[in-house]
Amino acid sequence: MSQIGIGFGEADVSPKMLMALHKETGIGLIDLKRAAKQPGKTLFYTCMLYMNDHVERSRQINAILEIFEDNSKEPFLFEILYDEKWSDFNLDEKQNYITPDQLRNIADAEGYM
């Protein structure tokens, strides 16, 4: 199982993109703006995959990635194991970075083991 974190890879984000992310995730616009001001340093969305809500999480992750693509912006993507804590990680450590394609493959998988 994995935990996924999504943040902004760059700071120049349009209000239209913020509104689309707000509608998809329910995260407040102020929180999204704050995260956008710290690209590569803050995650605005985290979730655990392969739980009972996996189908919904997969759909939401793909929708978020599509919003980034539609706005020609790079997301900041991070993966940790299910039993690890976000507070134990330095987001500057690149070994946990993943690409949008890797995230799609992870999110679209039905589970593993």
Q: Where are the domains of the chain?
A: 2-86+94-108
Question: Quick one: pLDDT at residue 113?
Answer: 38
What b/e readout covers 75-93, taking b as 16+ CB neighbours within 10 angstroms?
Answer: bbbbbbeeeeeeeeeebee
On whether the CB atoms of residues 41 and 11 are closer than 8 A, the answer is no
Token digits of residue 1: 């199982």
* Averaged pLDDT, 104-110: 81
Question: Quick one: pLDDT at residue 68?
Answer: 98
DSSP β-bridge partners for residue 108: none
Judge whether residue 112 has pLDDT over 60.
no
What are 29-86's pLDDT values in tens digits?
999 999 999 999 999 999 988 888 888 999 999 999 999 999 999 999 999 888 888 8
**Burial class of residue 62 (count of CB atoms within 10 Å of its CB; 0-12, 13-18, 19+):** middle
CA–CA distance, 43 with 35 (Å, rounded to integer): 7
Judge whether residue 109 has pLDDT over 80.
no
CA–CA distance, 113 with 68 (Å, rounded to integer): 31
pTM given for the model = 0.89
Judge whether residue 88 has pLDDT over 80.
yes
